[in-house]
Structure 1
Amino acid sequence: MNKKITVLPGDGIGPEVVQSAIEVLNSVAKHYNHEFEYTYAKLGGVAIDEENTPLPEETVRLCKQSDGVLLGAVGGPKWDTLPGHMRPEKGLLGIRKELNLFANLRPVTAHESLTGSSTLKSEVINGVDLMIVRELTGGLYFGEPSERRQVNGEEAALDTMIYSRSEIERIMRQGFELAKVRRQKVTSVDKANVLESSRLWREVAIEVGKDYPDIELEHMLVDNAAMQLIRNPKQFDVVVTENMFGDILSDEASMLTGSLGMLPSASIGSGGPGLYEPIHGSAPDIAGQNKANPLATIASTAMMLKYSFGMVEEADLIDAAISKVLNDGHRTGDISNPGEATLSTTEMTAKVLEAIEELQAVKN
């Protein structure tokens, strides 16, 4: 197969971890006779510096013409004082909207070999395997009006939380479809005891659930869900929730694995290219130091192969290589225990490439 990939290195450690991911993609392409064509574009802080906008029109055009989009990271303190419409994160929200990427998939799998890297007890996290499905184009992040105004003679700020029935239905169906090929359980997370938008969310979840009689549906308030993720994460299979709740819960869930540097994500829509990115930030404090953990970005490419290109075997190879590297005891600084030797970004990438070669040699 020949596939076009738009690469958005972004800010901070983004270019470093993206380079690692491309090296892994090239290795997979070699073994399976694929050809990946890469086109680079700007997004986030680097686009602000060079194009005076967080999302240049050329970036949108290139992304829409591709088969998949690979993103590193955006943002950093350098741009924190800019007005809201000019911040790097606005570029990320914008490209999601432009590509109609309404569903963000964030798998959370606890590797037994990384038990010591988590702050939780091993008996709590061993065996965790859940998928957070976050609605991505609605809610507080996109609701209008969103503005500063004068209220009773003083400055106030307003954000709008809004969801339509169709927006809720399509994200719920995404969750139920995933549950069909997993452990057949959906947990819908809301705040229906307080928010009218959540009451509509729960009503629609129940309606959609009737079309999936073999799938267990439970409802959980977001504050309880935050607690249960730490108390008993193994109870979850597929968690479906709105934009802001999903943003918070998925970052919390990342610590089950020991580090934000371990979690990939896929943002998908209906028919167009998907966007694949690690959920960690730009980590400007270590940018350019060859210290970043590339595994989440590498795992994100596996999701691209699976969900956008239909290359399931190739995706499984990358996931198996990551597991082998971790089981062999290789660590970057963010997932190491005190006294353990650590690898640089390029060294960890080399270990993954070696594992791919070894696994292919066994297979052949």
Structure 2
Amino acid sequence: MRLQESVQKVENVKDFQEEKALVQRFHAALDAASPDFGAGGVSESLAAHCAPELTWRGFHPFGEITGPKAVAERFWVPLKRALTSMQRREDIFFAGLNQMDGFQGIWVVSMGHLMGLFDAPWLGIRPTGKLAMLRYCSFHKVEGEQITETAMYFDIPHLMAQAGQGIFPSQTAQHLVQPGPRTHDGLLYEAQPQATGEETLALINRMISDLGQWQSGLPLEEELALTWAPDMLWWGPEGIGATYTIERYAKQHSGPFRAAFSDRSKTTHIARLAEGHYGGFFGWPNFTARPTGGFMGQPPSDRPGEFRVIDIYRREGDKLAENWIFIDLLHFWKMQGRDFLAEATGEAHAD
């Protein structure tokens, strides 16, 4: 099957430059804003670029928040006060039409790190006075001249590890401050050929179809090789880690993960899109599963848990070469009865 055949053809697709420009203006205003509620503050920056009924989804302990003011109060103001002189270090930026609504909605994706000096407590995490980097990935739905929905996913456990408050006992792979693409071409500020994005999205769809339900019947490494390059890089979250090559990915994540879980639900996404050689998706949640084999050093459980996930991919030729993963492990474990954030900080949170 040709790659393009699994993607619906969309005629007269626009180039997303207006939507990209809006998100870039939003980022510039947000990054420059002071951590307060007056003129030039975070709340003003959000209100100027986001719809009054903005739906914002964030990892535990934030959950779903409605409206720019509430997002500013609960997330951005405390974060900017904690990570002083904060700057955005963006590695991937692209936009596209959302396959999940019949290629009607336009979403703009940004991924990288929010870097600052960890000078004040955040979520009960003790400050260090030193450099800290919060991995993030955001999906923004743009309608007209406003952002109407945002998925803002971030790796809080990795920030905690940088602060000397690591919460997970072991990892099957290795977590580092994660770099951007090997090819250094992830910032798609300019328009990209439509056909290139279609090929990327088609390959992502093949991967989801072939691998997503764990039912191919092939040995794991052969199954992975259908859509992944032999020297693939899988950049996983704190608690799991990153791994390199199909052989080590199978040994250090995919194999242990499949052995850990049963009763995986069908995969669902809110947005799935691609542009150029980059693409990705997110769900709320993406799927549920039961950790009946034990996971991340924790004992087995028959209780189902939700996986809220963002996946970002780089395609090289006809294979996926790199994958950046954001998983809300704090939320998953809270559903299992372990509130790792509260245990580490002494502060209870609800999402």
**TM-score after normalising by structure 1:** 0.24
Normalized per residue, the structure richer in helix is: 1
Which structure: greater strand fraction?
A: 2
- Structure with higher RCO (Cα < 8 A, 6+ apart): 1
| TM-score (norm. length: structure 2) | 0.25
